[in-house]
Amino acid sequence: MDRRPIDPHRLGLLYVGTAGLLWSTSGLFIKVLTLSAWQIAGYRSLLAVLALAVFARIRQEPLGIRFDANCIAAASAYTVVLVAFVVATKLTTAANAIFLQFTAPIYLLALEPKVLGTPFRRRDLLAVLACLGGMSLFFLDHLEAGHLAGNLLGLLSGLALAIFSLLLKQRSLRHPGASPVGAIALGNILVFLVCLPFLARQSLPTPPQGLALVFLGVVQLGLAYRLFAAGVRRVSATAAMITSMMEAVFNPLWVFLGTGERPAPLAVLGGLIILGVVVGYSLWGKSSEPAPC
């Protein structure tokens, strides 16, 4: 039996891809839950930070919250990602929100070489362009000109996601032994504090709503971002963002299973393009980065 260790780059892509699958469930729950965006964001992050603390305790490791500049900046960007995306999904279509959030790779292509000195590779550009082309088909029948506030928040979420990914990668390079989970935990605490005034003025969730929030906080957020943090230590921030684009493919699948809404034929074609690019990038892409210490 072949017992050779898994290539660190491919293992990182596997972690990030799994995180993308878990993230893809958020749109359905945000749309179905009758709670306000602030309730969903606040309770979800409270449960997420509790889950991260439990995961750390099980692994007998510190949660890793630090109050240095990088950790605070990453936590702040993470806060913007979560709050902006939830509010955007409530104000505009879920398709608009996720499409605009996944403009993040475009920002990373410009920022990562300058901030981290990562070599600019043609295959990264081609993969991003192919994925964005696929997503254009995916949402061609649904992308609307209205809902300006929601669309602007979707764009803000994408920019913040790019900055957050970049800061996590920067931290892993400067401090190879440091866990990036601390920035994620601190970000969830900040989200809860931002939403707390709204939670205090609204009624508590019902038991069914509470179960949905537990899934969103523990699995869709806590576990997914822990996997993403582990993956981004092994691959470039751009590679991580390209791989996590599969969230945009599976999001409408969960919507179909949960509500019966059928994606348009162009959406199916776009999804196949994105999935093909992600699989090809994961299987044949090679990283020039050394394995983490």
Q: Given pLDDT bands bounded at 50, 70 and 90, which one contains residue 127?
A: confident
Whole-number Å distance between alpha carbons of 171 and 232: 10
How many C-beta neighbours within 10 Å does residue 1 have?
2
Whole-number Å distance between alpha carbons of 123 and 290: 19
DSSP H helical ranges for 119-201 = 122-138, 148-174, 181-200
Model pTM score: 0.80
Q: Given pLDDT bands bounded at 50, 70 and 90, which one contains residue 290?
A: very low
Q: Given pLDDT bands bounded at 50, 70 and 90, which one contains residue 289?
A: very low
Quote the percentage of the chain above a pLDDT of 70: 89
Looking at every residue in the chain, the average pLDDT score rounds to: 83
Whole-number Å distance between alpha carbons of 162 and 166: 6
What is the rounded average pLDDT of the residues 78-89? Answer: 93
* Lowest-pLDDT choice from 102-106, 156-160, 200-204: 102-106
